[in-house]
Amino acid sequence: MGRHSGHLPELKPGLTFRVLWILQAFLDLAGSQEIYAPHSIRVEGDVTLGGLFPVHARGVPGMPCGDIKKENGIHRLEAMMYALDQINGDEELLPNVTLGARILDTCSRDTYALEQSLTFVQALIQKDTSDVRCTNGEPPVFVKPEKVVGVIGASASSVSIMVANILRLFQIPQISYASTAPELSDDRRYDFFSRVVPPDSFQAQAMVDIVKAMGWNYVSTVASEGSYGEKGVDAFMQLSREAGGICIAQSLKIPHDHKPSDFDKIIRLLLDTRYARAVILFASDEDIRGILNASKRAEQVGHFMWIGSDSWGAKNSPIHQLEDAAIGAVTILPKRATINGFDAYFMSRTLENNRRNVWFAEYWEENFNCKLMSSSKKDESSRKCTGSAGTSVTFNRNGDAPGRYDLFQYQWNNFTGPGYRVIGQWTETLQLNIEDMQWPRGEQDIPSSVCSLPCKTGERKKVVKGMPCCWHCEPCDGYQYQFDEFSCKLCSYNMRPNANRTVCQPIPIIKLEWHSPWAVIPVFLAMLGIIATIFVMATFIRYNDTPIVRASGRELSYVLLTGIFLCYIITFLMIAKPDVGVCSFRRIFLGLGMCISYAALLTKTNRIYRIFEQGKKSVTAPRLISPTSQLAITSSLISVQLLGVFIWFVVDPPNTIIDYDEQKTFNPDLARGVLKCDITDLQIICSLGYSILLMVTCTVYAIKTRGVPENFNEAKPIGFTMYTTCIVWLAFIPIFFGTAQSAEKLYIQTTTLTISMNLSASVALGMLYMPKVYVIIFHPELNVQKRKRSFKAVVTAATMSSRLSHKASDRPNGEAKTELCENVDPNSPAAKKKYVSYNDDPVI
């Protein structure tokens, strides 16, 4: 029976005189109290067992005992009496041995129970009566108290702990039927204590499993002051820390000497953390009633999800007339079985046949609300397990029964009304039938009891310091994705988060599409330009030997037209899907078309400038003005561009890249990777730089030759061409570089570059060739050979014309001009001859 050695010894040799003196004082006190009230039940027998039962509740201050307790007190006491009858009536179980009993009332108070339990050790203490005499001088005759061989009880853990500390000194075994405090498992301190119920550590584990099964992670605890409540809550808190994922919002304690206001204060404190709706209760019946009453007074019925320990179990006494406040409560009770015959035995007890129970009359009054000679009130439920129930009684090495619990929920049934319903069991693991559970206020889903709601996908938890179950949800922003529950990570440079930010996905790759408005306009202009260029070239080839074509310098004209054609062609290369071939052609033709065009124009303007500069000094023609020389000069200028491109190819071979920075917007949904050639903005400007240098130089020569009369050369059309071209490219540069940080950079820069080149080519084509084509096609009569003049005559005429032009500026209202032109009809053949007369000059 437990962990004792077997025999009932005398007092331990190590017990000091001081301990004996204290025990003697307690015995004297107990003996004096026995005179005034019946504190025990005596059943004679060969072997006497002690019994400790909470027949009465704790009394009000100044009174040791209160109202009678029906379930925990009288029911359990009668269960022991029934067991004694069954054993004594069984001739095979204990033949020739009758069990007796000495049963005491603990009044649910540890100090009172200690006083009562000293009765069990009286027989083991030798009293010195040598100096005691009766009034007549005779020595007194003492009735030797019965020797108790073992004690059944107590109920409350605090009472069992107090009694066990005395009984172990006398090596009296003690077996409890209801004490569940974990500290009683310590076989070093309570080596003569055993129990037939599992310790609170088991039901604490069951409670932890229930909380986790419900998905709750933020709960409060309420405990009755004393070993049972405080140790039970400690066990729950320890196991919840070990399990992880459960936080304690508040841990409150109900004082021994409580008042209704104490319960009201507890409810107010629980409401301070109102998201912690689940409340773990390790409390006595009275305290449970106090909590439920306070919740009704605060109008919080249905707000809290109560999880009650085995002190609540499936009893009616804690919830009598408080059923509405208990709806939805989940309670735990050690597994029990029905003992056949006990119900019939108990129901047959009457005042006549149960006189051995000195408290039965008081129970009768309370149960039937009648009055015999004294009065009292209510209490709780009962539980007892033997060989009679068909289950074995076993203990582990600590003297504890194995952990086996039934799980109940107090529910409302429309047909049978409120009552407890079995919703599962716990035998080392939880078996919970959630579909059988019912919740207050008509809630269909499991009520939440969490500090913080789960974060949405794509959000990380920022845990509140010291409260791992409380957190703030912070979205993963920018290019971050949710790496785990608590952190966000940045996607790699070529990735972006998906819509819910759980993973990274590749950034879409784009390029300038042919159907894009950014491409349609340049392509349209380029096609018109190509058609016009081909038309001009075809016209010149068709009329190759006519005076106008010959006088315009056929060789350089074809070179210039080729450059113009390439300026239009580059539009298609800039819009085409980049690959190594396309990128190679871009590098070659990006600056080549402009280089060819402006090299030819520079050669022309330089030739005109040199001719007239030379004419001012002598009548000898300057060198290198023949067509062959002009082609040679133009080719040498073009070769510089080609050499630069060749070096570029060698140093940095052409390739394609995907630029993820160009369109990496703040909103990752708009991010795009741009497929393009490996050509930087600086490289584009460098490639065009040489052409721009030629253009500027050509413009300078056009300015220098602006005074040359239009009758003799193309200087002025070339000048207008260069002025206009300069304006186009001056507008291009700020637009090109000003959009370098824009998300539309690819489109704006490509469109700006191609339109600028299209406009440059169109200006040259329109100003230099369209007038000639117009005359060739629509006025062929003007495309005839005129008289030839010598270089000296040409220069002299040009010089005189220049001087007259200067003098005209000195006369009012243009009189000089009038003198020159007044006799000329603008529509006369002479005027028309003047328009094309420069074409007849073989020198020019």
Amino acid at 750: T
Confidence of residue 303 (pLDDT cuts 50, 70, 90): very high
Strand partners, 279: 220, 306
pLDDT at 805 over 80: no
Per-residue three-class SS string for 433-447: CHHHCCCHHHCCCCC
The pLDDT score that the predictor gives to residue 25 is 37
Confidence of residue 555 (pLDDT cuts 50, 70, 90): confident
Contact 70, 317 (CB under 8 A): yes
DSSP reduced 3-state for 308: strand
pLDDT-wise least confident of 160-164, 324-328, 799-803: 799-803
Amino acid at 827: N
Of residues 822 and 654, more confidence is placed in 654
Confidence of residue 467 (pLDDT cuts 50, 70, 90): confident
Percent pLDDT > 90 in the chain is: 29
The pLDDT score that the predictor gives to residue 126 is 67
The pLDDT score that the predictor gives to residue 416 is 75
pLDDT-wise least confident of 341-345, 466-470, 481-485, 838-842: 838-842
Confidence of residue 115 (pLDDT cuts 50, 70, 90): confident
β-bridge pairing 40-43 and 99-105: antiparallel
pLDDT at 202 over 80: yes
Of residues 823 and 572, more confidence is placed in 572
Of residues 830 and 739, more confidence is placed in 739
Strand partners, 253: 223
3-state helix, strand, coil in the chain (%, to 5): 45, 15, 35
Q: Where are the alpha helices (DSSP H) in 256-315?
A: 260-272, 285-297
Q: Region 705-731: what's the mean pLDDT?
A: 73
Which residues have C-beta within 8 Å of that of residue 805, sequence separation ≥ 6?
Answer: 707, 709
Of residues 310 and 826, more confidence is placed in 310
Contact 711, 837 (CB under 8 A): yes
Q: Region 423-437: what's the mean pLDDT?
A: 89
Contact 411, 314 (CB under 8 A): no
Q: Please return the burial class of 676, using the count of CB atoms within 10 Å of its CB with bins 0-12, 13-18 and 19+.
A: buried
Q: Closest Cα partner for 784 from 545, 557, 558, 554?
A: 545
Confidence of residue 464 (pLDDT cuts 50, 70, 90): confident
Condensed to tens digits (0 to 9), the pLDDT of residues 119-128 reads 888 877 766 6
- The whole-angstrom separation of Cα 73 and Cα 80 is 11
Q: Closest Cα partner for 657 from 676, 673, 671?
A: 676
Instruction: Give the alpha-carbon dihedral of 772, 776, 782, 786, to 10 degrees.
Output: 70
β-bridge pairing 278-282 and 218-224: parallel
The pLDDT score that the predictor gives to residue 699 is 84
Report the mean per-residue pLDDT for the chain. 80
The pLDDT score that the predictor gives to residue 550 is 81
pLDDT-wise least confident of 14-28, 39-53, 445-459, 500-514: 14-28
pLDDT at 35 over 50: no
Q: Region 359-370: what's the mean pLDDT?
A: 84
Phi, psi of 94 (to 5 degrees): -135, 80
Condensed to tens digits (0 to 9), the pLDDT of residues 667-708 reads 888 888 888 888 888 888 888 888 889 888 888 887 887 666
pLDDT at 137 over 90: no
The pLDDT score that the predictor gives to residue 172 is 92
Condensed to tens digits (0 to 9), the pLDDT of residues 141-174 reads 766 677 899 999 888 888 999 999 999 989 999 9
- The whole-angstrom separation of Cα 838 and Cα 793 is 12
The Cα angle at residue 252 between residues 249 and 254, in degrees rounded to 5: 160
The pLDDT score that the predictor gives to residue 127 is 65
Percent pLDDT > 70 in the chain is: 82
pLDDT at 4 over 70: no
Q: Which of 375-389, 514-528, 805-819, 822-836 has the highest mean pLDDT?
A: 514-528
The pLDDT score that the predictor gives to residue 272 is 92
The secondary structure of 488-557 as a DSSP string is: EEEPPTTEEE-TTSSSEEEPPEE---TTSHHHHHHHHHHHHHHHHHHHHHHHHHHTTTSHHHHHT-HHHH
Q: Region 643-671: what's the mean pLDDT?
A: 87
Q: Region 310-320: what's the mean pLDDT?
A: 89
pLDDT-wise least confident of 142-151, 367-376, 571-580, 684-693: 367-376
The pLDDT score that the predictor gives to residue 53 is 93
pLDDT at 831 over 70: no
Condensed to tens digits (0 to 9), the pLDDT of residues 438-457 reads 888 877 788 989 888 888 88
pLDDT-wise least confident of 424-438, 467-481, 822-836: 822-836
- The whole-angstrom separation of Cα 17 and Cα 254 is 38
Q: Please return the burial class of 590, using the count of CB atoms within 10 Å of its CB with bins 0-12, 13-18 and 19+.
A: buried
The pLDDT score that the predictor gives to residue 427 is 87
Q: Closest Cα partner for 277 from 219, 210, 328, 326?
A: 219
- The whole-angstrom separation of Cα 742 and Cα 174 is 87
Structure tokens at 351: 């005042």
Confidence of residue 391 (pLDDT cuts 50, 70, 90): low
DSSP reduced 3-state for 26: helix
Bond preceding residue 154 cis, omega within 30 of 0: yes
DSSP 20: H
Contact 754, 522 (CB under 8 A): yes
Q: Region 60-72: what's the mean pLDDT?
A: 85
- The whole-angstrom separation of Cα 479 and Cα 666 is 8
The pLDDT score that the predictor gives to residue 646 is 93
Q: Region 574-603: what's the mean pLDDT?
A: 89
